[in-house]
Structures are given as C-alpha cells and as structure tokens.
C-alpha cells in the first residue's frame, strides 16, 4: 500500500486481515480509522481524498454489498478515487456456507458497478497490483478493487 | 426556529472561522446554497447518511483546518455507527451539527424516530462522545457555536423546508471548486 502512496486506511475486520490491520495501525505514515460499516468507510475515505490523502479500505467482500449506494452516488457521482482491498470470502476453500452467496456475487457486482478489479496471485504480486489499482482509481476518478481470495492467504 | 435559520448561523460561523462545511443531502444543501454559497461548502447530493463520515475524513486529513458537518436526524439515524467512530477519533477540529426536525424533510416530511422519542444527543453520548450539547433556541445556538469547534450539537427545529432554488453546479464542479479552495492562503 505504501508503495502506491496510500496514506489513509479505513478498516472493517476480516479474519484474513487480522495481521494486516495491526500493521497498518502501527505505521506512523498511515492514518488508520477503524469504522463500524463499510458504507461509513466509503464516506470517511471520500473526505480524506478531498483533504489531499490517498485512501484505501481494508474490508471483506460482504461489505461491498453494504457500500453500493455510496460507491455510486458519492465516488462515481463526484469522481472520487478509492482502492478497496478485499478479502474475498465464499470462494473455493470456504468453510462457512453463509459466505458463499456474496462470494459468488462479488465480481458480478463489481462489473455492474463498472469498478475495475485485480486478482494478485502472490504477496509480491499484491504489491504490484495495489499500485496499479491506485493508478487506475486516480486516473479514472473512481473506485477500484483488489481481491484476495482464500488461497491467497495460505 | 426553522432549519434554514440554524443553517444561516452555522454558515456564519464557518465564514468567521474559515471552516470547511460539509452539508447533508437534499433540501439542507439547497438552503445552505441559498444563504451562503462559497467554495468551502461541499454539497453532498447522494449517499444519504454520510455527511458526518465525509466531515470526519476531512478533519483527519486536514488537522489544521476547522471542519463543520451539517447533518439531519434522518441521515444520522441511517449511519449511527458514525457517532461511535467520531468518538474514537475525538478530533479537536471537527464540529458536527445535527439539525433535528423530527422529519424526513426532503422526501415528504415522514416522521423520523426522533419524533417518537429517540434522543440523538443521548445516543451521541452513549456512543462515547463526551462533548455533546443541545438547544432549541436561536440565541443559544449562536452562543454555543461561538464557543465550540469540536463538539456535537443537536439543534431541535420545527419541520418544514424553505422555498429555495436548486443548486446549479454539477457534482464534478462542486468537488473541483471545493478542493481548489483548500489550497488557498489559509492553508
């Protein structure tokens, strides 16, 4: 994230992010704001961008559903960039059936919302893809997403 | 007191303090636009519920600027978690003014839960905000605004909308003008 210049991160926890969130919290170069719901985080990130920051949101893909109106009627309406770094649950290897419906809908939802998304296949690739995701968001003045499915975390 | 009276008082404070002002969706935005349109106003046209969150993001990013968000009772009820997040951040440069008219004023004046007893000042305190004041009086509001840059103020007003024109700027222009204004001499 830091290589992409991201200096403002809101987070909604996911088990897969349990080691990433404390790292962000400890980093003196990043403002970290834990929020109660992803839609709220979209608003906080929009304010941060307006204030000159480069925002990202750490979240689970279930939170994409919670954020749809804000992504459309705030980010896309005004042209506000945002990178969503998403733990993609409900795909191959998922042990919890409740995660599956949103897992299957995630890429379709992103496509309907015209949000570009990237699938890194390794930690090194994630560093690269997060930079590409920020560049895409900034140049397109819109949200982008980096999806980290269950096999990524193994 | 009508909502537009409270908005006029808040806009006057923003002008005096060179504060940035984020305004809630719908008719409140139009009322602010009609009483005082400046580049430091951000008119939120969609994303109902997020004015307080946008204001918080701005306050965190610009700690040397004063930020004021104008929100409504219906919108705050839609994003109550924001009150808890605002409490955890406790920014000294962020003032949230909730104008409570007990009504969804932009959609036909349907009653909100505050008209049935929900108390947003108590909810804000319960969410962890220690500095919450409330008023239903115009002179008292002016007095509270003069002494506060970082509290939550709940202002009780009567339901009803002022007859004001639409905002003539497109969303992209609102954002460009707002962001361009941030880097003026006051920064």
CA-based nearest distance A65→chain B, Å:
14
The residue in chain A having the minimum alpha-carbon distance to the alpha carbon of residue B79 is A40
Q: Cα–Cα distance between B33 and B40 in angstroms, integer?
A: 11
Q: Chain A: nearest CA to B50, how far in angstroms?
A: 5
A108 has a chain B CB within 8 A of its CB: no
Nearest residue, CB atoms, A74 vs list B50, B82, B172: B50
Q: What is the pLDDT of residues B32-87, one digit of tens each?
A: 999 999 999 999 999 999 999 999 999 999 999 999 999 999 999 999 999 999 99
The answer to whether B32 and B43 have CB atoms below 8 angstroms apart is: yes
Place of tokens 């980093």: A27
Q: What distance in Å separates residue A107's CA from the closest CA in chain B?
A: 22
Q: Does A78 touch chain B (CB under 8 A)?
A: yes
Q: Looking at residue A93, what is its pLDDT?
A: 87
**A57 CB-near residues (< 8 Å, 6+ apart):** A9, A10, A11, A12, A38, A41, A42, A45, A82, A83, A84, A85
Q: How far apart are CA B31 and CA B21, in angstroms?
A: 13
Whether complex ipTM tops 0.90: yes
Report chain A residues whose CB lies below 8 A from the CB of B88.
Answer: 34
Contact A44, B56 (CB under 8 A): yes
Of the candidates A34, A37, A47, the beta carbon closest to that of B55 is on A47
Q: Are A53 and B61 in contact (CB under 8 A)?
A: yes
Q: Is residue B95 within 8 Å of residue B153, measured between CB atoms? A: yes
Q: How far is A55 from chain B (nearest CA, A)?
A: 10
Are B7 and B70 within 8 A, CB to CB? yes
Is the separation of the CB atoms in A86 and A61 below 8 Å? yes
> What's the DSSP call for residue B159?
S
- Residue pLDDT tens, chain A, 154 long: 888 899 999 999 999 999 999 999 999 999 999 999 999 999 999 999 999 999 999 999 999 999 999 999 999 999 999 999 999 998 888 889 899 899 999 999 999 999 999 999 999 999 999 999 999 999 999 999 999 998 888 8
Q: Cβ separation of B61 and A53 shorter than 8 Å?
A: yes
How many angstroms separate the CA atoms of A68 and B183, rounded? 31
Give the gap in angstroms from C-alpha A73 to the nearest C-alpha of chain B.
5
Contact A48 B61 (CB under 8 A): yes
Q: Is A112 exposed, middle or buried (0-12, 13-18, 19+ CB in 10 A)?
A: exposed
Out of A36, A72, A74, closest to residue B84 by CB: A36
Is B57–A43 a contact, with Cβ atoms under 8 angstroms apart? yes
Under-50 pLDDT residues of chain B: 185-187
pLDDT for the residue numbered B184 = 60
Q: What is the pLDDT of residue B176?
A: 97
Q: Which of A40, A53, A78 sits opposite B175 (nearest CB)?
A: A78
CB contact under 8 A, A73 and B59: no
């Amino acid at each position: 994230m830091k290589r992409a210049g991201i200096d403002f991160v809101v987070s909604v926890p996911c088990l897969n992010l349990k080691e990433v969130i404390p790292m962000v919290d400890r980093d003196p170069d990043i403002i970290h704001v834990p929020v109660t719901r992803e839609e709220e985080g979209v608003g906080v990130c929009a304010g941060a961008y307006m204030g000159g920051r480069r925002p990202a949101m750490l979240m689970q893909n279930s939170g994409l559903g919670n954020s749809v109106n804000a992504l459309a009627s705030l980010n896309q309406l005004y042209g506000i960039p945002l990178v969503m770094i998403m733990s993609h649950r409900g795909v191959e290897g998922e042990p919890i059936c409740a995660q599956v419906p949103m897992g299957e809908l995630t890429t379709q939802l992103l496509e309907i919302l015209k949000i570009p998304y990237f699938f890194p296949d390794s930690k090194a690739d994630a560093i690269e893809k997060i930079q590409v995701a920020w560049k895409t968001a900034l140049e397109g003045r819109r949200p982008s997403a980096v999806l980290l499915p269950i096999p990524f975390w193994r | 007191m009508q909502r537009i009276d409270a908005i006029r008082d808040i806009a006057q404070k923003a002008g005096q303090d060179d504060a940035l002002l984020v305004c809630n969706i719908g008719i409140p935005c139009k009322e602010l636009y009609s009483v005082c349109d400046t580049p430091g106003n951000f008119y939120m046209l969609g994303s109902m519920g997020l004015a307080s969150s946008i204001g918080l993001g701005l306050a965190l990013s610009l700690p040397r600027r004063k930020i004021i968000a104008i929100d409504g009772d219906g919108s705050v009820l839609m994003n109550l978690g924001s009150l808890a997040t605002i409490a955890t951040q406790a920014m000294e440069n962020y003032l949230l003014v909730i104008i409570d008219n007990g009504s969804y004023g932009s959609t036909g004046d349907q009653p909100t839960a505050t008209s049935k007893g929900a108390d947003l000042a108590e909810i804000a305190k319960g969410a962890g905000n220690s500095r919450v004041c409330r008023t239903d009086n115009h002179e008292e509001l002016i007095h509270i605004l003069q002494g506060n840059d970082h509290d939550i103020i709940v202002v009780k007003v009567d339901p009803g909308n002022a007859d004001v024109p639409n905002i003539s700027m497109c969303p992209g222009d609102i954002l460009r003008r707002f962001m361009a204004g941030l880097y003026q001499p006051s920064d």
